[in-house]
Each structure stands twice: as C-alpha cells, then as structure tokens.
C-alpha cells in the first residue's frame, strides 16, 4: 500500500508555538500556538484577514514567521527550513495545476522531484488517481477538466508524496454548492482511509462543522478559540465567537448581580438571567453578551415570570422556511430574535418569546478569556 | 407615423450606418494590405520577367534564377549574414529570457527598465550607427568587423526580443512556482520544469526576431561593417552601382522575403499560441 504512511512514533505531528508574522505595520498573525495530533482533522476557521492562511503558509514553509518559538513537524525542528524540504503538501484554492503537463505528469511531479524511477512514478500516480476516483484521466490535458476534476487532481498530486500533513487552503471555495458537499464527504472519506493529518482553512462555519472534529477559530491574527465544534457553540469564549458560529440570538447588556455561576444582567432596562462561561468572572456593571440558539427559544402567549425563564414580548413575526423547519424572526423592543419552530406563525400575531436561563451563555465583550486559565488578556476585539 | 413605425425606421437607420461603416473599414483594410504586399508581389513578378528594370511584368522567364545560381557572388555575404544573425538570435534568446522573466514581476522598477530599453527603438538607425562607431571603436577600442556588427544588431534586435518574452512572462502565473516548491522542487527544478517550458514560446520567438532583424539590418551595418559584407550591404552596393547583378537582386530578394515570411509566421504563431493548446 503506497498510502497512509505508518508513523510509529507518538507525540503531536505538528507543534507551533508563538508564531507572529508582520507585513510592515500590519500584524497578520499574532502569537499563535497550535498543537495537532496524528490523524487529526483540524479546521482553521475565521473571516478573511484573520490570519488563518498566513498560519497555514508558515506551516507549509511558503512564508517565514517574523518570530516563532517552536515549529516542529513530526518531531523535527522546521524553523528556517524551506517548503521544498518539508514533508507537507498543500492543496491550493487556485489548484495550481501545471497547464503544460498532462494530469498524470502533474501528479508524478512530486515523485519526479524526489528522484523516483519512472515506472514507480507511473504506478503511484495511477493509484492516486484511483484514490480520488478519476481512474481514466491519466493522459488528459488540464484544460479538459472541470472544476471538480481539477480539485481532485490537485488533491491526488498532493497526496501522492505521502505528506505527514496535508494542508488545504480553502480548497472548496471555487466549487458550486452541490460539488462542495460532494467534495466535503470525499475529503472525510480520504482522511479516514489514509489516516493522514489534515489541516483545512475555511471561512465557512458550516464547512468547519461538517468536516472536522476540532475547530480553531481565528480573528485579527489571533486564535480566539480552539476546541470541538460543540464547545464553540455551547461555550463561545467571546461575542465574536458566538456571532461567527452562527448563534442567532446575541444581546449585549451589563452585569447586575451574580449568584454562584448564575448572572442577572440588564439589557436596555430589561432583566435577563444566564450562565457564566467557565473561567469568566465579570466585575459588577461590566458589559457582557448573552447568547441563545434559536432552537432553545419557545413561543408562548402570556407573560411568564417564572424563575429561571427569560421572556420578551414581540409584536409581529416573519416565518422563513428552511426545508425541515421554520426560522421565525420576532420583532421585539430589543431588535430581532430568532426562534426555530416546526410550524410557521401568523405574521400579525404577537406573543412572548421564552427561553430558559440554563440555555443562555454569558461572556465578555471586549476581552477574551484565556483558554487555559482565567487570565484576562485585556485586548480589544 | 405611429410610434412603432418611428422605432422601426430608427432601427433601420442604425443598421444602414453599421453596414456602411463595415464596408468602409473592409475597403480601407484592403488598401492597406495592397500597399504593404503590392511591392513584394511586384518584386516577385519582376524577378520572373525578362526586362525587370523597365518595371513592367512579362514576358515571363526563369533566366534570372538560373543566373542567380551560376553567378554565386552573393553566397559569401549570405553566409556571413546567416552566421551573424544566428549569433544575434542566440544572444537575444538568452538575454531576453533572463531579463524578461523578471521584469513583469518587479513592479515599477520593471517598467522603468523596460522603457529605458524600448527608447532605443525610437532612435534613428543611421544616427545610432555613427554613435556606435564613435563609442565602441574610439572609446572602448572595439575593432569594426564581425563583433561590432553582432553588437550593433543585438542592440537593435534586443527590445523586440524582450517584448516577445515579456508578453509571455506577464501571463505566467508565478503561483505555480510556489506550488512546485511545496511539492518539493528546488529552484533549478522549478525553472527547468515549470517556468522554462511555459516561457519557451516567448523565448523562441525572441530568437526568431533576433535572427530576422539582424539578417535584414542595413543602416547600422553601413558604419560598423569594417571589412565585412553582409547580404543587405551586398544588395545595397550592387543596386546602387548599376552592375549586371541588379536583375539578380530581384530574385534573391524574393527568396529572402519568402524565407523571412515563413520565419515570421512561425514566430508569431509560437508567441500567440494559447497556453492550453
């Protein structure tokens, strides 16, 4: 079997410690640290300009960090080692297929460079083509391929060298919706089959959730949260994380009182109750966010003042059909809240939105909690 | 007239204008082509006419071609010209490739260097010939002869050669080099396997341009020839001296023109060949 290089040695396959990259006055990546285990599928998620591609390029050796404490791949120090001497391979968003070579020659390139004999190159390139389900494309010209086929060829070309880590830089960005979903499943299948470590860069929250068991969320050049997708949903470490992960209802208020981990806060003269994030202890009057997912918001018709229940009246609503459910946008004095319901609501009908305080997460606005301890970093988002 | 009739009339008017302007453009284009190729066709006709110096075609004969290949005084100048042109061609390929592959990717500096090189194109050839002889011979001590001719022809042909490489190099996607490095290729392998093959059409046409421009160069050669006689110098001298060679020049020029035409078509088709083809 030519694929799935068996690495017996344990320990993380990748360690990045305190990587910083400056472009003139712009800090593209600030003090980023990341440790990835073998066979992990990690997603670097973030908006454009968040530094995720810069981090990927530093791992690939295509960019040099301005400063870095540690960079090791497979246990070996890779600081200052150029890309062509690192055993990682990248699938680029632009694919970067060589237009003057056939599909087969493109895939063979990494082996040619490594001085493998012609018959071995040919055999392994054919195996790689079968792996990406394009078995009859060996002699095709690049310009004869569709977008999805190019994507697969780029993937085969990167995998044929048996890299320790496969880096994917927004590889699905140029594909249409149906192909994207197909390739997402394809990548998952490949990763499980080969057991290679995959690091995927994307700006799509949905893609990150579909693909990976671990999401590293970045913003303004910094890693803001690193964890399982559920953690990012249920314990967003900042308002940015809550918003970016698509938590529908995020309000901003001030702390009124704290009882154990339950906090009362005031949003525009209205009282709400929620649960503090682990590791977060706000000062009185500190501005905080309170976040609730749409499926946790119920709709009732009388005002309720029962303890542990948040409520707010709405005057009208808009029901948006989502295929399996409706997202009902409720017009409230605090703006639009979203409730997920199996049935639509009469637009003119008013009512009360209700949700349990146990489903509310309360976190900091203008600082992020340190992931390991409670040390505030005191930086603006 | 109703509104709809007015609209139809207006559309009909627009169509007429388009039809007429197309006709005018085609006619002007034909006039242009006749002005360019007329003399060449005339030259070919003269070369197979009995009395070429009268300027009237016919009666037709191959006698001048037969004489051309019995009186071979033009052969040595042709060989000299071919040797010089080949050298200039190779020089052009190497230098244009070395410079042209970088210029499109270094921003404003590239533009400045390119304009410095292209300005030479706008200087009168005879004047440059005189300049060269003063500068090279008197200041640098280069003797006139084959090498001064090669140098002058190279200076003349280089901007064209450079442009051919730049046309291709500016279309070259430098990200491909990054991809190759990522796949493990060193710098030399990147150049040899990726950059060179993709720039090759431009480099080859640089060679063709260098060859053709040198082969047909006269104004600079007049001053820098030393004791050397190139083919254009030979033709020029013979045509000016009313010698018996004159009728032969028609035949010779026709052959050279045909040869140059083939090379030019080759060079242009290489240059504008689609990368994906």
**B188 touches A at CB < 8 Å:** no
The verdict on A272 and A123 lying in the same domain is no
The verdict on A145 and A226 lying in the same domain is yes
Identify how many contiguous H helices and E strands chain A contains and give both numbers. 8, 21
pLDDT digits (tens, 9 = 90+) for A332-367: 999 899 999 998 888 888 888 999 988 899 998 866
Q: Which chain A residue shows the shortest CA-CA distance from B186?
A: A84
Contacts of A143 in chain B (CB under 8 A): 276
CA atoms within 13 A on the CB side of A292: 27
Task: Please give the pLDDT value at position A36.
Answer: 95
Q: Which chain A residue shows the shortest CA-CA distance from B178?
A: A62
Contacts of A141 in chain B (CB under 8 A): 276
The verdict on A170 and A221 lying in the same domain is yes
Residue A31 domain-assigned (yes or no): yes
Q: Pick the closest to residue B201 from B240, B171, B238 (CA basis).
A: B171
Q: Where in chain B is the domain with CATH 1.10.3720.10?
A: 71-271
Q: How many residues does chain A have?
A: 381
Please answer whether residues B246 and B234 qualify as being in contact, where contact means their C-beta atoms are separated by less than 8 angstroms.
no
Phi-psi region of B65 (alpha: psi -120 to 50; beta: other; left: phi over 0): alpha
Task: Please give the pLDDT value at position B9.
Answer: 93
Q: How far is B173 from chain A (nearest CA, A)?
A: 9
How many structural domains is chain A composed of?
A: 2
Tell me the residues of A at the B interface, defined by beta carbons under 8 Å apart: 60-62, 82-85, 88-90, 92, 94, 96, 98-100, 109-110, 112-114, 141-143, 157-158, 161
Please state, in angstroms and rounded to a whole number, the distance separating the CA atoms of residues B211 and A323: 69
The verdict on A135 and A54 lying in the same domain is yes
pTM above 0.90, yes or no: no
Query: ipTM score of the complex?
Result: 0.81
Task: Please give the pLDDT value at position A8.
Answer: 46
Each residue's pLDDT tens digit in chain B (277 positions)? Answer: 788 999 999 999 999 999 999 999 999 999 999 998 898 888 888 888 888 777 788 788 888 888 888 888 888 999 999 999 999 999 999 999 999 999 998 889 988 988 888 887 888 878 888 887 888 777 777 777 888 889 889 988 999 999 999 999 999 999 999 999 999 999 999 999 999 999 999 999 899 989 989 998 988 888 888 888 898 898 888 877 766 667 788 888 888 888 888 888 887 887 776 544 4
Please answer whether residues A308 and A360 qualify as being in contact, where contact means their C-beta atoms are separated by less than 8 angstroms.
no
Q: What percent of chain A has pLDDT over 90?
A: 60
**B185 touches A at CB < 8 Å:** yes
**B198 touches A at CB < 8 Å:** yes
pLDDT digits (tens, 9 = 90+) for A245-291: 888 999 999 999 888 889 999 998 889 999 998 888 888 888 899 99
Q: How far is A177 from chain B (nearest CA, A)?
A: 26
pLDDT digits (tens, 9 = 90+) for A26-53: 999 999 999 999 999 999 999 998 999 9
The verdict on A208 and A293 lying in the same domain is no
Q: Do A113 and B198 touch (CB under 8 A)?
A: no
pLDDT digits (tens, 9 = 90+) for B260-274: 888 888 878 877 765
Q: Which chain B residue shows the shortest CA-CA distance from A154?
A: B179
Q: Which residues contact A274 (CB under 8 A, 6 or more apart)?
A: A262, A263, A265, A290, A310, A357, A360, A361, A362
Average pLDDT rounded to a whole number, residues A2-14: 62
Q: How far is A164 from chain B (nearest CA, A)?
A: 13
Q: Which residues contact B8 (CB under 8 A, 6 or more apart)?
A: none
Task: Please give the pLDDT value at position B243.
Answer: 67
- Give the mean pLDDT of chain A: 88
The verdict on A192 and A283 lying in the same domain is no
Please answer whether residues A7 and A197 qualify as being in contact, where contact means their C-beta atoms are separated by less than 8 angstroms.
no
Contacts of A112 in chain B (CB under 8 A): 193
Contacts of B198 in chain A (CB under 8 A): 99-100
Say yes or no to pLDDT of A305 above 70: no
The verdict on A301 and A159 lying in the same domain is no
Task: Please give the pLDDT value at position A366.
Answer: 64
* Out of B178, B185, B194, closest to residue A62 by CB: B178
Bond before A124 cis per omega within 30 degrees: no
Task: Please give the pLDDT value at position A376.
Answer: 36
Task: Please give the pLDDT value at position A351.
Answer: 87
Q: Which of A209, A231, A253 is the last residue of a domain?
A: A231
The verdict on A131 and A248 lying in the same domain is no
**B268 touches A at CB < 8 Å:** no
Q: How far is B176 from chain A (nearest CA, A)?
A: 6
**B138 touches A at CB < 8 Å:** no
- Tell me the pairing of strands A361-364 and A270-276: parallel
The verdict on A59 and A86 lying in the same domain is yes
**B182 touches A at CB < 8 Å:** yes
pLDDT digits (tens, 9 = 90+) for A148-205: 899 999 999 999 999 999 999 998 887 888 888 888 998 999 999 999 999 999 999 8
Secondary structure of residue A233 in the 3-state scheme? helix
Residue A8 domain-assigned (yes or no): no
Q: Which of A231, A264, A299 is the last residue of a domain?
A: A231
The verdict on A169 and A308 lying in the same domain is no
Q: Do A99 and B275 touch (CB under 8 A)?
A: yes
Q: Do B176 and A96 touch (CB under 8 A)?
A: yes
pLDDT digits (tens, 9 = 90+) for A47-79: 998 999 999 999 999 999 999 999 999 999 999
Please state, in angstroms and rounded to a whole number, the distance separating the CA atoms of residues B117 and B162: 9
The verdict on A193 and A341 lying in the same domain is no
- Tell me the pairing of strands A165-169 and A197-202: parallel
* CATH number of residue A106's parent domain: 3.40.50.300
Q: Do A62 and B183 touch (CB under 8 A)?
A: no
Angle B146-169/B108-119 helices, nearest 10 degrees?
140
**B152 touches A at CB < 8 Å:** no
Helices (H), B138-245: 146-169, 175-182, 187-190, 196-215, 219-224, 231-240
Class of domain B71-271: mainly alpha
* Out of B180, B189, B276, closest to residue A143 by CB: B276
Q: Do A113 and B183 touch (CB under 8 A)?
A: yes
Residue A239 domain-assigned (yes or no): no
**B273 touches A at CB < 8 Å:** no
Say yes or no to pLDDT of A115 above 50: yes
Contacts of B189 in chain A (CB under 8 A): 113
Q: Among A82, A96, A103, A156, pick the best mutation site for testing chain B contact (most B Cβ within 10 A).
A: A96
Task: Please give the pLDDT value at position A15.
Answer: 95
The verdict on A144 and A62 lying in the same domain is yes
Angle B146-169/B125-132 helices, nearest 10 degrees?
130
Q: Which chain A residue shows the shortest CA-CA distance from B184?
A: A84
Domain hosting A289: range is: 244-364
Task: Please give the pLDDT value at position A6.
Answer: 43
């Amino acid at each position: 079997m030519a694929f799935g290089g068996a690495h017996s040695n344990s320990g993380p396959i990748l360690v990045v410690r305190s990587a910083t990259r400056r472009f003139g006055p712009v800090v593209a990546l600030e003090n980023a640290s990341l440790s990835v285990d073998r066979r992990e599928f990690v997603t670097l998620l973030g908006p454009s300009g968040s530094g995720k591609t810069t981090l990927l390029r530093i791992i690939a050796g295509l960019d040099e960090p301005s400063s870095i404490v540690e960079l090791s791949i497979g246990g070996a120090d890779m600081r200052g080692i150029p890309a062509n001497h690192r055993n990682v391979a990248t699938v680029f968003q632009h694919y970067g297929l060589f237009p003057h070579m056939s599909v087969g020659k493109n895939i063979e390139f990494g082996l040619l460079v490594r001085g493998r004999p012609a018959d071995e190159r040919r055999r392994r390139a054919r195996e790689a083509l079968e792996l990406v389900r394009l078995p009859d494309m060996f002699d095709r010209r690049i310009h004869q391929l569709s977008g999805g086929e190019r994507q697969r060829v780029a993937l085969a070309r990167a995998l044929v060298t048996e890299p320790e880590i496969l880096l994917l830089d927004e590889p699905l960005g140029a594909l249409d919706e149906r192909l994207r979903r197909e390739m997402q499943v394809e990548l998952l299948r490949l990763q499980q089959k080969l057991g290679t470590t995959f690091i995927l860069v994307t700006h799509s929250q949905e893609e990150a959730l579909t693909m990976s068991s671990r999401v590293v969320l970045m913003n303004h050049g910094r890693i803001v949260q690193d964890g399982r997708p559920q953690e990012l949903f249920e314990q967003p470490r900042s308002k940015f994380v809550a918003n970016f992960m698509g938590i529908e209802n995020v309000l901003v208020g001030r702390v009124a009182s704290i009882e154990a981990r339950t906090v009362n806060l005031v949003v525009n003269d209205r009282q709400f109750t929620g649960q503090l994030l682990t590791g977060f202890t706000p000062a009185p009057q500190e501005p905080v966010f309170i976040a609730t997912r749409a499926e946790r918001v119920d709709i009732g018709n009388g005002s309720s003042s029962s303890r542990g229940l948040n409520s707010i009246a709405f005057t009208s609503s808009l029901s948006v059909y989502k295929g399996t459910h409706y997202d009902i946008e409720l017009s409230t004095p605090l703006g639009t809240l979203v409730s997920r319901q199996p049935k639509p609501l009469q637009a003119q009908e008013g009512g009360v939105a209700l949700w349990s305080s146990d489903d509310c997460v309360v976190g900091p606005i203008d600082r992020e909690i340190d992931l390991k301890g409670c040390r505030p970093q005191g930086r603006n988002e | 007239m109703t509104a709809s009739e007015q609209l139809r009339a207006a559309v009909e008017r627009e169509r007429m204008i388009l039809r007429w302007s197309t006709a005018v453009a085609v006619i002007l284009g034909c006039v242009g082509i006749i002005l360019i190729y007329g003399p060449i066709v005339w030259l070919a006709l003269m070369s197979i006419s009995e009395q070429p110096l009268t300027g009237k075609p016919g009666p037709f004969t191959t006698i001048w071609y037969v004489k051309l290949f019995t009186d071979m005084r033009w052969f040595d100048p042709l060989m000299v010209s071919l040797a010089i042109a080949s050298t200039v061609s190779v020089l052009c390929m190497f230098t244009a490739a070395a410079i042209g592959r970088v210029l499109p990717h270094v921003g404003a500096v590239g533009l400045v260097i390119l304009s410095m090189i292209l300005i030479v194109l706008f200087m009168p050839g005879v004047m440059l010939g005189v300049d060269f002889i003063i500068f090279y011979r008197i200041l640098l001590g280069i003797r006139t002869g084959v090498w001064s001719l090669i140098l002058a022809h190279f200076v003349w042909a280089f901007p064209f050669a450079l442009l051919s490489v730049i046309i291709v190099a500016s279309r070259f996607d430098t990200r491909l080099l990054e991809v190759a490095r990522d796949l493990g290729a060193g710098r030399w392998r990147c150049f040899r396997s990726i950059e060179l093959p993709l720039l090759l059409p431009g480099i080859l046409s640089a060679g063709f341009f260098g060859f053709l421009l040198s082969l047909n160069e006269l104004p600079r050669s007049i001053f820098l020839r030393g004791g050397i006689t190139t083919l254009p110098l030979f033709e020029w001298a013979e045509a000016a001296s009313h010698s018996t060679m004159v009728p032969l020049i028609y035949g010779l020029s026709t052959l050279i023109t045909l040869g140059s035409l083939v090379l030019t078509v080759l060079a242009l088709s290489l240059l504008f060949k689609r990368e994906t083809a």
